[in-house]
Amino acid sequence: MSLLWQKRENNTLYEVRAAGNSRRLYTDGVFHSQYNANNPVTGNVWDLLLLPAFFYAPHEIKRVLVLGVGGGAVLQQLNYFLALDEIVGVELDPVHLYIAKRFFNTRQKNIKLYQANAIDWLQEYKGPGFDLIIDDLFAGVHGEPSRAVEANSRWARQLLKHLSAQGALICNFISYKELKASAYVDDEAIAAEFESAFVLTHPHYVNNIAAFLRKPASSRELRQRLETIPELNPNRKASRLKYRIRSIN
């Protein structure tokens, strides 16, 4: 793996590395993003942030909000597989946004990037709701990833305020225990906002990607849609997609 770019700013080390045709972002040693323009399926945990979009028909997802851009890999995946009107990305770290534009090519016309604290940005946002909200707000703590915003009732209500009537909220948790302790499961009033709830995992990562939908859905429905898309069809021998899914009880 070769080093393409490196910068130390405010005691934080940023690195962009190449692994074959893939670009990887590391911040203080924490692996934040990976993307290969020639193969949009990474084979890693970031694919799981994309998959809940396929609980919906293509015309049902038009506006997406991504909180925590990192290198912008999921933005690229969304644009590759979906015909979106707009993707809004909110990222606190200006160096991450620079990297996303320079090395991950997040310059498409339908992508709007904002350098801001996600909590402040959502409080000030007055625009239309989003069909899909991806909460991937992570920071490095002693070289290990950790959620940057606690998934408590106040945060959940803020996100729900900007989610469309049939929309989905995807949230990245570092463990199933953290997911179960979140307001989406532990707060009955918040949990009642959703018709369906699933957790997706990758065999080589500890992350638990939760998908909370404001409509009825089934994992069978998701699998059937994925089978119609060559790059995402898990039955293809050459498929790089690795995931497990189950309902959250």
Q: List helix spans (H) across the chain.
A: 47-50, 73-81, 94-103, 118-124, 153-161, 176-181, 183-186, 188-191, 219-226
pLDDT at residue number 1: 84
pTM reported for the whole predicted model? 0.95
Tell me the C-alpha distance between 221 and 244, whole Å.
14
Backbone angles phi, psi at 186, to 5 degrees: -80, -25
pLDDT at residue number 98: 97
pLDDT in tens, 198-246: 999 999 999 999 999 999 999 999 999 999 999 999 899 889 999 999 9
CA distances for 129 relative to 79, 115, 125, 167, angstroms: 19, 20, 10, 9
pLDDT at residue number 113: 98
Residues of the chain predicted below pLDDT 50: none
For strand 196-201 and strand 12-19, is the pairing parallel, antiparallel, or unpaired? unpaired
pLDDT at residue number 249: 80
For strand 130-135 and strand 196-201, is the pairing parallel, antiparallel, or unpaired? unpaired
pLDDT in tens, 115-132: 999 999 999 999 999 999
pLDDT at residue number 32: 87
Tokens of 168: 């989905």
For strand 63-67 and strand 86-91, is the pairing parallel, antiparallel, or unpaired? parallel
pLDDT at residue number 183: 98
The sheet that has 30-35: what strands, in order across it? 2-9, 12-19, 22-27, 30-35
The answer to whether residues 115 and 92 touch, using CB atoms and an 8 Å cutoff, is yes
pLDDT at residue number 31: 87
Domains defined along the chain, listed by start: 40-247 (3.40.50.150)
Tell me the C-alpha distance between 37 and 107, whole Å.
14
